[in-house]
Amino acid sequence: MENDASAVSTSEMEEVKIPFDEYLSSPDCAVRCCICRALLTADAAELSNAARVDLLIDQDLYVSPGIRVCSRHLFRGRILPDITIDRNRLQPLSFNVASAKELINDLVFQLRMVS
- Point out which residues bind Zn ion (CB under 5 A): 33, 35-36, 38, 70
Per DSSP, 40 falls in state P
Residue 23 Cβ vs Zn ion, minimum distance, rounded to whole Å: 20
Residue 36 Cβ vs Zn ion, minimum distance, rounded to whole Å: 3
> At how many degrees (to 10) do helices 49-59 and 97-114 cross?
110
Q: Which is nearer to Zn ion, 61 or 95 (CB)?
A: 61
- B/e letters for 41-58, b = 16+ CB within 10 Å, e = fewer, are eeebeebeeebbbbbbee
Q: Which is nearer to Zn ion, 21 or 82 (CB)?
A: 82
Residue 32 Cβ vs Zn ion, minimum distance, rounded to whole Å: 8
